[in-house]
């Protein structure tokens, strides 16, 4: 299986458990790792044989900048589910969501959640 990766996409959202996070918002970083067959796209140089990464960015942006989730786990899950439902040529997706500045008095580069999902033989979206 081939891999397409979208790295360090940055968005502003209102996700979090605390009311001030939902009111003030903050930056989120998202990385997508997609598993799909890119052999036809590579051979034919045809956009229809792949997934347009501008569309992937737009879908991710819509979710991250949309209605708030309490947990970044739920945010990552929503992105994974939407991508797998939208793109039938996508076999598996890994979504990494980083909250660079959680509202705590601790010093680190943020917290990242990574979810891996795929379609099983029945078409159901399942954890990998």
Q: Give CA torsion, residues 17, 10, 93, 81, to 10 deg.
A: 50
Active site residues: 99
Are 1 and 92 in contact by the 8 Å Cβ rule? The answer is yes
Q: Give CA torsion, residues 59, 123, 91, 83, to 10 deg.
A: 10
Q: Is the pLDDT of residue 32 over 90?
A: yes
Query: Which residues, 6+ apart, have CB-to-CB distance to 7 below 8 Å?
Result: 31
CATH for 99: 3.30.1130.10
Q: What is the mean pLDDT of residues 99-123?
A: 86
Separation of alpha carbons 128 and 123, rounded Å: 14
List phi, psi (to 5°) of 46: -125, 120
User: For the chain, what percent of residues have pLDDT higher than 70?
Assistant: 100
b/e burial code for range 28-62 (CB count within 10 A of at least 16 → b): bbbbbbbbbebeebeeeeeeeebbeeeebeebbbe
Q: Quote the domain boundaries for residue 116.
A: 2-127
Look at the chain and report how many structural domains it folds into. 1
Pick the residue with more confidence: 62 or 107?
A: 62
Q: Which helix (H) or strand (E) holds 58?
A: helix 53-64
Q: What is the pLDDT of residues 48-106, one digit of tens each?
A: 999 999 999 999 999 999 999 999 999 999 999 999 999 999 999 999 999 988 777 77
């Amino acid at each position: 299986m081939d891999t397409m990766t979208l790295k360090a996409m940055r968005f502003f959202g209102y996700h979090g458990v605390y009311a001030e996070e939902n009111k003030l918002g903050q930056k989120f970083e998202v990385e997508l790792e997609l598993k799909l067959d890119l052999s036809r796209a590579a051979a034919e140089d045809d956009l229809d044989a792949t997934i347009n990464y501008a569309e992937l960015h737009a879908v991710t942006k819509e979710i991250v900048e949309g209605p708030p989730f309490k947990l970044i786990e739920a945010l990552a899950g929503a992105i994974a589910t939407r991508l797998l439902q939208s793109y039938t040529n996508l076999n598996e997706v890994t979504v990494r969501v980083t909250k660079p500045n959680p509202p705590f008095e601790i010093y680190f580069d943020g917290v990242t959640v990574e979810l891996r999902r795929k379609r099983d033989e029945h078409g159901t979206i399942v954890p990998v």
